[in-house]
Structure 1
Amino acid sequence: MKTHNLKQATTVFLFTFLYGCIATSQRSDTATSSPYTIGYTSLPSGIIEIYEGTAEGTSTITSTQENGGYVAWSPNGKKIAFYGKYDDKKTWSIRTMHIDGTNRKRLTHAKNKWDNAPDWSPDGKSIVFAREYKNSEGFWYPEIWIMNADGSEQRQITSLRGSNPIFTPDGRIVFSWEFEDKTSAISIVDIDGKNVIRLTHHSAQEWHPEVSPDGSQIAFMSDRDGNFEIYVMDIDGSNQKRLTNNNVDDWYPSWSPDGSHLIFSAATGEKREDRTIYMMHANGSSIRPIIKGGAQAAWLKTVK
């Protein structure tokens, strides 16, 4: 009887020890051990869809029946902002709607300009977005704009030339500063356009910054090593690390609500619709495909 108890106690101890080692050797899996929600553009249809998945591999996909891209979730998870195309695709405008497809609104109406990449302020009261258009000399010019969440009081942040703006939890803006030589750099700035700090310093194209939910890190895409890969760095630009290493382009990183995982899109064929959305740990490990024929994916940051 004493021998049986000893064996049982030893087994329990070993299990507890091994479980503790595993738990401390990798980051939390809470983002994939419970249901998660992702908004993305389905290809080739161009329709925004909502994907709800679990770690066990079960999933449901709901179509919004709305064409558009660059999905951005409101802080409460009830609405999305995105861009839609008009005038035979010559005009792009920011739109919003509830995730069930109701209450659809067009917020911007600037003709022959491409309004894209919207993001909500932490309090949900404002939306920042990028605007691109051909200037009088025929060159594309990038601007950063901001407006109230209902589309009112639209105004340019005049000191900024760039794209892909996104709010930090403390209300600043991270964006891709675009230079005349076609290179770009991830930068951070106050909401009034003052105190711009350049965070990356490579002769490369560096786009689509995504700030982690706790505001400590930025994920982004860069072609500094030959083709677009996903990188991560601290909010002050330090500790820059490459997370993916593929012979195809990787785009559009997005953080899980707890910051333990990232999703991104990658080309998996020659056609535009040959793209797949992947998930990985925040350190770049355990990459796996989750959605075929999808791009510009954004993780719902609100934990349900």
Structure 2
Amino acid sequence: MKSNRILLACVLVLVTFSACGTPAPTLELPTAGPAATVAVPRPTETASPVPPTLPPPAGPRILYSIADGALPVANTFTVPRGAGLIHVENGTSTALGLPSAENGFFNGTPFDWSPDGRRVVFVSTRAGSANLYVMNADGSNAARITTGGENGYPAWSPNGEWIAFASTRGGESNVYLTRPDGTETSCLTCDLAGSETSPAWSPDSASLAFTIPDEPGPVSIIHIATGEARPVSSPELRSAAPAFSPDGQWFIFECEQNICLNDIYGLTLNMFSSGQAVETQPRISPDGKQIAFISNRDGNYELYIMTIEGGEVLRLTTNPYPEMHPAWSPDGQWIAFASATVFQETYTNFDIFIIRPDGKDMQPLAQSPENEFFPLWSPQE
């Protein structure tokens, strides 16, 4: 029986943060079935056309979501109220024209850049249920591109032609594809058992990796053209947050409370573990040689990097409160992340910082009395 909800991958991590440091698996995902062939349905819906895009502005840019820091911890991390996208350019933050109504950034990473950096797809509940919208990078011309159910986990294909997302339309969570203008929407996983979510693109835009929340099960990869899906990790492990390597030949993912590295055929190449510690939110560097991740191996959730070859680990931060959501800059020279400056039962404050991969030059990028989450760099321009 498929789940009737799309789960937030980060919520369990954050709940773990608030549970007095007790190690526990951060993300509870997958139960993938055996390899299957899926007939991809014909387009089932259309949506409002997206207006012409603007040329990308010069300079590095980061998106992040902002939430009311006065909310209780669970509410803040689950459904940020009054949330909005923030555009950061050269150290200056500007709201991207979203309404003050609740925007519901709670279904996984709440937004993604188009590969040319000119547009953003994001999740909003401005019309009631959670839906996907596409807007220009300056916040103009936002257009809704989904209808029905709760929609989240948007992922723009590297070739710019598709947006993958998870949706509960029909009462079950599945992975869908749609054009950036909301046309040609089709379900990729409706014929598979489970409740599929967390789509992640291969670099050639030919395949998607996905996971299934709530139960132990593998990461699966589905080929877009044929609809063929196959498990590529152990069905006995809870798996989450898959991400392909830059060359598309291997991927990393959360396996229970560790970080695993498999090739695209399902062979386990490595499992990075530090005993009972929680290792979570792995992010591959642009050159494919390092992984940034969050771990409580030293007692608090800190930011680390690790080499793929050799597994050498370097701790980058020292903070009495948690860090989360690491994100590499496109040139690999910086890592952005959210860091708590206040962490109490009834009040938290997370700000966005950047740091060099060697742990030097840490500096604040976005600070306010509210919570800033999910930093995401624009593509290399």
- Deviation, 1:255, is 0.9
1:213 aligns to what SS in structure 2?
A: coil
Q: How many residues align?
A: 258
Q: 1:238 aligns with which of 283, 287, 311?
A: 311
Deviates more, 1:40-49 or 1:113-122: 40-49
**Stretches of structure 1 lacking an aligned partner (at least 5 in a row):** 1-32, 134-139, 179-183
- Deviation, 1:167, is 0.6
Whichever of the two has the greater Rg, that structure is 1
Alignment-derived partner of residue 63 in structure 2: 38
Alignment-derived partner of residue 94 in structure 1: 175
Alignment-derived partner of residue 128 in structure 2: none
Structure 2 letter corresponding to 1:52: H
Q: 2:266 aligns with which of 193, 199, 208?
A: 193
2:63 aligns to what SS in structure 1?
A: strand
Q: 1:258 aligns with which of 322, 331, 344?
A: 331
- Deviation, 1:273, is 9.4
Deviates more, 1:249-258 or 1:50-59: 50-59
- Deviation, 1:257, is 0.7
- Deviation, 1:149, is 4.5
Q: 1:279 aligns with which of 325, 328, 353?
A: 353
Asked if 1:299 corresponds to 2:334, the answer is no
- Deviation, 1:294, is 4.5
Structure 1 letter corresponding to 2:301: F
Alignment-derived partner of residue 290 in structure 1: 366
Q: Deviations over 1:15-74 (max 9, x none)?
A: xxxxxxxxxxxxxxxxxx813243658663589965432114043426543365555443
Matching of residues 71-110 of structure 1 within 5 Å: 71-76=154-159, 80-84=163-167, 91-96=172-177, 107-109=188-190
Alignment-derived partner of residue 90 in structure 2: 55
Contact kept? 1:70, 1:297, Cα under 8 Å: no
Question: TM-score, length-normalised on structure 1?
Answer: 0.68
Matching of residues 91-170 of structure 1 within 5 Å: 91-96=172-177, 107-109=188-190, 113-133=194-214, 140-149=215-224, 152-157=227-232, 159=234, 161=237, 162-170=239-247
Question: TM-score, length-normalised on structure 2?
Answer: 0.56
2 CA distance for matches of 1:264 and 1:188? 22
Structure 1 letter corresponding to 2:271: R
Contact kept? 1:86, 1:92, Cα under 8 Å: yes
- Deviation, 1:144, is 0.6
Contact kept? 1:92, 1:114, Cα under 8 Å: yes
Pick the structure with more strand per residue.
1
1 CA distance for matches of 2:276 and 2:95? 42
Percent sequence identity over aligned pairs: 29
Structure 2 letter corresponding to 1:157: V
Pick the structure with more helix per residue.
1
Alignment-derived partner of residue 203 in structure 1: 276
Q: Deviations over 1:150-180 (max 9, x none)?
A: 79323322535322211111221112222xx
Q: Deviations over 1:66-125 (max 9, x none)?
A: 36555544324665544445688xx54434556677766554448995533332111111
Measured on the aligned residues, the alpha-carbon RMSD in Å equals 3.8
- Deviation, 1:146, is 1.2
2 CA distance for matches of 1:82 and 1:272? 33
Contact kept? 1:275, 1:295, Cα under 8 Å: no
Alignment-derived partner of residue 29 in structure 1: none
Structure 1 letter corresponding to 2:198: A
Q: 2:252 aligns with which of 166, 174, 182?
A: 174
